[in-house]
């Protein structure tokens, strides 16, 4: 199968840091169809050779086994071409069309690694240039809009040119091997299904923590914030994977139909729950472990007096028969104590305790997403009895852990998130991509939070400060503690 992949934003940060390394790994693994061509598009005046040299310099920063040898890169570079384009000029699209029509590839992928404000313009120009053919697929990076209205406007504009089956809205979390294993855990094994419900689950925690701050993205992040950047997309997609009903089959729309039901079942926000169940934070100067770290307000590109949140913790419920009454806690933030992403399913205690268990301990299934990829099942077992031990001590249980590290089990050369997603785009598989109605349902759910924060800002009630290197504002611990729960690191 032949393919052309046109990479709009071909000299940008996302292209050289994520997309081109992922395409190289697919090439190295033999997964990339051999009759392929990758065309970088940007405003810079570069030749094909200049572009290859630019990417070679970028690849020199890659560390470890993922760094290509000179011979490997030379073979990969043969796929790379470049075209200078002004994305607002129709004549530049005509030149691109002429280049693509040279060989009529079986599949043409238009990857829009640009600012979302350009999505509408690019898609309209592609349509006008005759480049929106049945063989064309368009990939849209997040964020797709900044609220529900802008999301609907972008989707409407894109759908005026492309059919829904041609639109691949990418969320790289869905390509992570650990998320694929989450779906396999749920729907490929009979062991957990009887336990996956309100009668046995006490609470569910989704944590996505970063140690880094905004780095060089201050201006972008100040217009986005943690709610738009992480909760509206990544966190809610993980929640859907945890809470969805088994689909009737593994086809894309069957899976996405079930995810949509979850999003539409999320508890509706009220003024009381917005005040009680949502914590907004912004990092200040660091703890001892983060001495010298600047506060968010002092980062380059951040507006003076900014109230943009760098931390969100919230509690919600799913109003259906399987999950009614079970609290779902979501937490994400920058400059936290560790780089850690996980989902913790906390089970209810036994109905009648005949053994003593450690205070606050519980059976728990933890799905680790990063930096490690695996599963840990927390159980209790009888400790080894010793001579002279009192009867009460012999009846006490000790926590034990069954740990599965997927990298050790399956090897370190597993397919990365962007590699998997790019190969799925080329193959036309939509399972791991987000449908328009999913996105709209997610925006509809987070919009009351944004509106409540705007009202708080008008009253001078900004985000709660937290020290860089901590786990966020103390109010986040209080959020879960009032129902007798704790975040996983507090157990």
User: How far, in Å, CA of 152 to CA of 437, rounded?
Assistant: 9
DSSP alpha helices (H): ranges in 162-279?
177-187, 218-222, 225-226, 236-243, 252-265, 271-276
Q: Respond yes or no: is residue 29 known to be catalytic.
A: no
Question: Has 66 been labeled as part of a binding site?
Answer: no
Distance CA 158, CA 106 (A): 22
The verdict on whether residue 420 carries a ligand-binding annotation is: no
Closest CA to 50 of 84, 17, 75, 76: 84
Is 87 assigned a ligand-binding role in the annotation? yes
Active-site residue, from 29, 104, 234, 352: 234
**d(Cα 414, Cα 420) in Å, to the nearest integer?**
10
210 is in an annotated binding site: yes
Contacts of 19 (CB under 8 A, 6+ apart): 7, 111, 113, 418, 422
The answer to whether 86 is annotated as binding is yes
Tell whether 44 is in a known binding site.
no
Is the bond preceding 119 in cis, omega lying within 30 degrees of 0? no
The number of beta carbons lying within 10 Å of the beta carbon of residue 28 is: 18
Ligand-binding site membership of 172 (annotated): yes
Residue (of 434, 420, 469) closest to 32 by Cα position: 420
- Alpha carbons 336 and 469: distance in angstroms, whole number: 5
Strand order in the sheet with 328-333: 397-405, 374-382, 364-370, 340-347, 201-209, 328-333, 311-316, 278-286, 464-468
* Residues tagged active-site: 234
As annotated, the binding site for substrate includes 172, 176, 210, 229, 334
As annotated, the binding site for NADP(+) includes 43, 86-87, 142
As annotated, the binding site includes 43, 86-87, 142, 172, 176, 210, 229, 334
């Amino acid at each position: 199968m032949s393919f052309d992949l046109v990479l709009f934003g071909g000299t940008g940060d996302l292209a050289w840091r994520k997309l081109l390394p992922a395409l190289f790994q697919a090439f190295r693994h033999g997964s990339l169809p051999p009759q392929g061509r990758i065309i970088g598009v940007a405003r810079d005046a570069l030749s094909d050779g200049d572009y290859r040299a630019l990417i070679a310099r970028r690849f020199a920063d890659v560390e470890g086994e993922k760094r290509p040898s000179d011979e490997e890169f030379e073979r990969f570079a043969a796929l790379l071409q470049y075209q200078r384009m002004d994305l607002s000029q129709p004549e530049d699209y005509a030149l691109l069309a002429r280049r693509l029509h040279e060989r009529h590839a079986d599949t043409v992928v238009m990857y829009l690694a640009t600012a979302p404000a350009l999505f509408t313009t690019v898609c309209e120009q592609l349509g006008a240039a005759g480049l929106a053919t049945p063989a064309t697929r368009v990939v849209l990076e997040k964020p797709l809009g900044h609220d529900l209205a802008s999301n609907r406007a972008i989707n409407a504009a894109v759908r005026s040119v492309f059919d829904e089956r041609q639109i691949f809205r990418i969320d790289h979390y869905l390509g992570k091997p650990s998320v694929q294993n989450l779906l396999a855990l749920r729907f490929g094994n009979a062991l957990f299904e009887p336990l996956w419900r309100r009668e046995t689950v006490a609470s569910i925690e989704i944590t996505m923590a970063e140690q880094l701050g905004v780095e060089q993205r201050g201006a972008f992040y100040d217009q986005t914030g943690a709610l738009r950047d992480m909760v509206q997309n990544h966190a809610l997609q993980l929640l859907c994977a945890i809470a969805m009903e088994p689909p009737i089959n593994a086809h894309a729309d069957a899976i996405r139909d079930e995810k949509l039901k979850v999003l539409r079942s999320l508890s509706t926000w009220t003024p009381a729950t917005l005040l009680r169940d949502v914590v907004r934070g912004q990092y200040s100067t660091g703890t001892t472990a983060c001495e010298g770290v600047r506060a968010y307000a002092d980062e380059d590109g951040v507006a003076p007096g900014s109230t943009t949140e760098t931390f969100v913790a919230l509690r919600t419920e799913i109003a259906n028969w399987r999950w009614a009454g079970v609290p779902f806690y979501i937490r994400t933030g920058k400059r936290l104590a560790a780089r850690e992403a996980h989902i913790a399913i906390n089970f209810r205690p036994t109905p009648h305790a005949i053994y003593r268990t450690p205070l606050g301990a519980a059976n728990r299934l933890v799905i680790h997403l990063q930096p490690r990829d695996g599963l840990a099942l927390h159980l209790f077992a009888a400790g080894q009895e010793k001579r002279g031990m009192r009867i009460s001590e012999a009846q006490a249980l000790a926590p034990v852990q069954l740990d599965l590290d997927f990298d050790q089990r399956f090897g370190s050369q597993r397919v990365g998130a962007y590699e998997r997603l790019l190969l799925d785009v080329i193959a036309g598989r939509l399972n791991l991509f987000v449908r328009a109605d999913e996105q709209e349902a997610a925006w509809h759910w987070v919009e009351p939070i944004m509106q409540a924060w705007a009202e708080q800002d008008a009253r001078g009630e900004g985000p709660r400060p937290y020290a860089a290197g901590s786990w966020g504002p103390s109010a986040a611990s209080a959020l879960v503690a009032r129902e007798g729960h704790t975040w996983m690191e507090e157990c």
